[in-house]
């Protein structure tokens, strides 16, 4: 018996660290099904995007009002932190700005879609400069055409842009010109059709993920590749369900190749593992609405420092926060070492493991699929099943 316990202990030590699905400290990731409204329609008019800095300060691109609002960590709201229509830097076209981001130095970046450019705003002197585009609409290397998505590499300060109406991805390394990377208009593997969002995995040789919006898919481009690979959704096929996307507009990845995808057609966020043919619903209900568990006509979301999800709920004129929590290793270990009180409990756990291990359709896991938005990465359940099975063997042998 002592030897059996040592074997189980070894399995736990070896495999538990490999089962984390969102960050190093979390085995079960959970987002609240119902959001907290941080800023409501009294103060907002069609907010398009948000940015949360390392100090948990929230910047809101309040597009319809032509301004950027700032919500401090103490929930103090500055309703006009930056006026994005004020001359001489901004103008009336700036009201259609589509995205906001930041760097580690505290600078804010505004994707001024109406003027086909990116503005870098210094919080030190409250002034901005053009760092990409600004040369009119077009498809030349120094131009953009109604760009909708932007990613800031905080290490190099390179600016990656979803140049939407040119159906291409470009990278600006200096304010003078962009470097063409991928795409042309179409549905082939080397093309995009009006891409709205992008994410660059800077820890994986700048692997690029593109929300190829009107092809209803997410494309992965390895560094130096001449073609992309569809890693979420199906080209040209859209709808409601775990195996399809419906106008994906934002994609964000984590270090474990989990993609978080917002589809504007369903106003929902799905978590989709690279290599899987299905995703898991974590925010929304697959339908538009104004309830606390719904979104309406949303374009962008971001993760905060605590992994909570912040959504610019554009059509509802509000900012929503879906709080994050996790079950850590200590909790899981306690759960596993507690002897089941009945055979029903044992069978339920065994059923969950069996379903997850042998059924690649993650959405069939009805017992754990969407209980307060809990999800478990089934790709790691092979390892988890070894742990649980070992525990069950010990219990049986007692």
Burial class (CB in 10 A: 0-12, 13-18, 19+), 164: buried
CA distances from 70 to 52, 67, 88, 245 (A): 10, 10, 22, 32
Tens of pLDDT, residues 239-268: 999 999 999 999 999 988 999 999 999 999
Which pLDDT band, with edges at 50, 70 and 90, does 87 fall under? confident
Per-domain boundaries in the chain: 2-24+344-397, 29-327
Quick one: what percent of the chain has pLDDT higher than 70?
A: 75
> Where do we find the tokens 């007692």?
398
- How far, in Å, CA of 131 to CA of 121, rounded? 10
The alpha carbon of residue 183 and the mean position of all alpha carbons in its chain are separated, in whole angstroms, by: 22
Letter string b/e over residues 56-90, b meaning 16 or more CB atoms within 10 A of that residue's CB = eebbbbbbebbbbbbbeeeeeeebebbebeeeebb
Q: Is the peptide bond between 100 and the residue preceding it cis, with omega within 30 degrees of 0?
A: no
pLDDT confidence of residue 357: 33
Which pLDDT band, with edges at 50, 70 and 90, does 303 fall under? very high
Domain 29-327 = CATH 3.20.20.240: no
Beta bridge partners of 272: 259
Closest by Cα among 193, 223, 257 to 21: 257
Beta bridge partners of 58: 52, 71
Tens of pLDDT, residues 348-370: 333 333 333 333 333 333 223 34
For residue 236, pLDDT beyond 60? yes
Q: Is 216 left (phi over 0), alpha (psi -120 to 50) or beta?
A: left
Which pLDDT band, with edges at 50, 70 and 90, does 75 fall under? confident
Report yes or no: 86 and 62 within 8 Å, Cβ to Cβ.
no
**Greatest mean pLDDT range, 26-30, 180-184, 212-216, 332-336:** 212-216
Tens of pLDDT, residues 17-64: 434 445 545 667 889 999 999 999 999 999 999 999 999 999 999 999
pLDDT confidence of residue 181: 85
pLDDT confidence of residue 398: 58
For residue 386, pLDDT beyond 90? no
- How far, in Å, CA of 111 to CA of 117, rounded? 6
């Amino acid at each position: 018996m002592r030897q059996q316990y040592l074997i189980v202990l070894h399995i736990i030590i070896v495999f538990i660290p490999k089962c984390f699905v969102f960050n190093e400290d979390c085995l079960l990731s959970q987002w609240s099904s119902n959001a907290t409204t941080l800023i409501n329609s009294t103060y907002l008019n069609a907010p398009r995007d948000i940015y949360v800095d390392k100090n948990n300060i929230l910047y809101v691109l309040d597009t319809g009002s032509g301004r950027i609002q700032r919500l401090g960590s103490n929930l103090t709201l500055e309703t006009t932190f930056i006026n994005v229509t004020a001359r001489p830097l901004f103008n009336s076209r700036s009201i259609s700005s589509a995205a906001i981001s930041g760097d580690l130095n505290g600078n804010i970046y505004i994707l001024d879609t109406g003027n086909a450019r990116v503005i870098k705003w210094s919080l030190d002197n409250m002034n901005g400069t053009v760092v990409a585009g600004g040369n009119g609409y077009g498809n030349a290397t120094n131009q953009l055409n109604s760009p909708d998505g932007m990613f800031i590499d905080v290490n190099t300060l390179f600016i990656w842009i979803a140049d939407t109406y040119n159906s291409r991805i470009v990278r600006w390394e200096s304010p003078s010109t962009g470097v063409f990377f991928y795409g042309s208009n179409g549905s082939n593997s080397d093309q995009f059709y009006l891409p709205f969002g992008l994410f660059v995995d800077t820890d994986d040789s700048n692997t690029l993920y593109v929300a190829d919006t009107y092809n209803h898919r997410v494309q992965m481009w390895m560094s130096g590749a001449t073609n992309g690979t569809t890693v979420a959704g199906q080209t040209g096929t859209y709808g409601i369900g775990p195996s399809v996307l419906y106008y994906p507009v934002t994609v964000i990845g984590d270090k474990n190749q989990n993609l978080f995808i917002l589809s504007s057609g369903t106003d929902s966020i799905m978590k989709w593992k690279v290599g899987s043919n299905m995703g898991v619903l974590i925010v929304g209900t697959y339908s538009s609405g104004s309830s606390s568990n719904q979104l309406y006509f949303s374009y962008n979301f971001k993760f905060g420092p605590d992994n909570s999800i912040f959504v610019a709920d554009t059509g509802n004129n509000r900012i929503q926060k879906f709080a994050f929590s996790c079950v850590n290793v200590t909790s899981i270990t306690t759960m596993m070492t507690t002897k089941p009180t009945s055979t029903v409990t044992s069978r339920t756990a065994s059923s969950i493991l069996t379903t997850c291990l042998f059924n690649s359709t993650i959405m069939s896991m009805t017992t754990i699929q969407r209980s307060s938005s809990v999800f478990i990465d089934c790709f790691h359940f092979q390892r988890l099943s070894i742990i649980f099975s070992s525990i069950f063997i010990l219990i049986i042998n007692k």
